[in-house]
Amino acid sequence: MPKKIRLGILGGGGDSLIGVLHRVASFINDNYVITGGVFNAEYDESIKFAQEIDIPTNRIYNDLDALVEAELKLPKEERIQVCSILTPNFLHFPMAKKLLDNGFHVICEKPMTTTYEEAKILRDTLKKAGTVFAVTHTYTGYPMVRQMREMIKEGVIGKVHKVDAQYYQGWMNPIIHDKEKRSTVWRLDPKKAGISSCMGDIGVHAFNMIEFTTGLQVESLLCDFNYLYDDNQMDMDGTVLIRMGKHVKGVIRASQVATGEENGLSIAIYGQKGGLKWEQENPNYLYRLNDPEPLQVYKPGHQYNSKLSLDGTKLPPGHPEGIFDAMANIYLGVARAIRGEEYNDGEFPTMADGVRGLNFIESTVASHKQGNVWVGLD
């Protein structure tokens, strides 16, 4: 088998936010070659962008249907093997379904679909396809988040009893307060984003981080949203009380109007013997609270870290690695899975995480709309 995996990109054009993160991540560990795709809804734009970044234009297609039809005619050893779906949310489901139905591996941006129903259909489709499916909850790829997961699994903080995740951004603030502007952003259009803005876009990352690090599942939640304006259908801010068991409780706080905040994702997990805290904006520091001992700081690349954490570090300690590397770690895990190599199930979020995410998003909206009541997750 040739060394590099042939990767197609859907969305992620030059006008996008997330495209560059995936392109760089796919390149970092020398596992992938971008072979073609559909970068934009407009064919001319896709071609122009492919020329800009020096990707051969003969494998740039008008749409996904054309890509699948043409690629399936190619010999297997030339065909695109995996596609990354980086489009606005409403296209994730139809694109992922078509790819799985035709035997491709898929790397899909979050939220995986726009409804829980679609997510469950996709889960069944994957069972039949038997290919690899990853959901890019990027932050799980950071070495110190992986370390947090492994330390909790080993019992370093004892039995978990309190979880607290916060994801605060402020970028929606100038948009939401302007009546004209708030009708132009796809993230505020339920037809394109799904039923939730704040929880669908960022709260779902916080939710995934809690389940990823603790290995526990949220059983029920109670949510209170702020929509800010009566004509706005999408939540801008939300506070979610969560129960992960009779004596494991916590909170997810998410906001797109936390004025002045940038990408303030943080997570704290407390157990009987101590706590662990991590912040996305300072990702190379994992704090271990160990009452009555002094605070300890764990950093990437040191041999005291777990195998899973060390696998996500490329340079010696003290060479800061960041968001591109976190996404690259996810791409590395997916490459191993595609090649049939051994990998740790903490290396990339899967279909199961995508389905849980949609279950969470819909439950937050149901809880708020029913008058801030407790809602059970499946």
Ligand X SMILES: NC(=O)c1ccc[n+]([C@@H]2O[C@H](COP(=O)([O-])OP(=O)(O)OC[C@H]3O[C@@H](n4cnc5c(N)ncnc54)[C@H](O)[C@@H]3O)[C@@H](O)[C@H]2O)c1
Q: Tell me if 156 contacts ligand X by CB under 6 A.
A: no
Q: Please, which residue, 157 or 201, has the CB nearer to ligand X? A: 201
Number of residues that make up the chain: 378
* Cβ–Cβ under 8 Å, residues 272 and 161: yes
13 binds ligand X (CB under 6 A): yes
Rounded CA gap, 171 and 237, in Å?
12
Region binding ligand X by CB under 6 A among candidate stretches 8-16, 53-61, 152-160, 213-221: 8-16
The Cα-based distances of 170 to 174, 223, 237, 262 in angstroms read: 9, 20, 10, 6
Q: Does 41 bind ligand X (CB under 6 A)?
A: yes
Asked whether position 44 contacts ligand X by CB under 6 A, the answer is no
Stretch that binds ligand X, among 33-41, 214-222, 230-238, 270-278 (CB under 6 A): 33-41
Minimum distance of ligand X from residue 139's CB (angstroms)? 7
| Contact present, 117 and 125 (Cβ < 8 Å) | no
Single out the segment in contact with ligand X by CB under 6 A; choices: 81-89, 147-155, 170-178, 270-278: 81-89
Size of the site for ligand X (CB under 6 A): 21
Residues in 104-123 that interact with ligand X by CB under 6 A: 109-110
197 forms part of the interface with ligand X (CB under 6 A): no
Rg (CA), the chain: 21
Site membership for ligand X, residue 283 (CB under 6 A) = no
169 contacts ligand X (rule: CB under 6 A):
no
Spatial neighbors of 294 by CB under 8 A, at least 6 apart, are none
CB under 6 A: which stretch of 15-23, 125-133, 275-283, 298-306 binds ligand X? 15-23
Q: How many CB atoms lie within 10 A of CB 279?
A: 16
CA atoms in the 13 A half-sphere facing the CB of 202: 28
Query: Is 1 an interacting residue with respect to ligand X (CB under 6 A)?
Result: no
Cα distances (angstroms) measured from residue 33 to each of 46, 94, 207: 17, 24, 32
Residue 89 within binding range of ligand X, rule CB under 6 A:
yes
Does residue 121 contact residue 98 with C-beta atoms inside 8 Å? no
Enumerate binding residues for ligand X (CB under 6 A): 10-13, 15-18, 38, 40-41, 86-89, 91, 109-110, 136, 138, 201
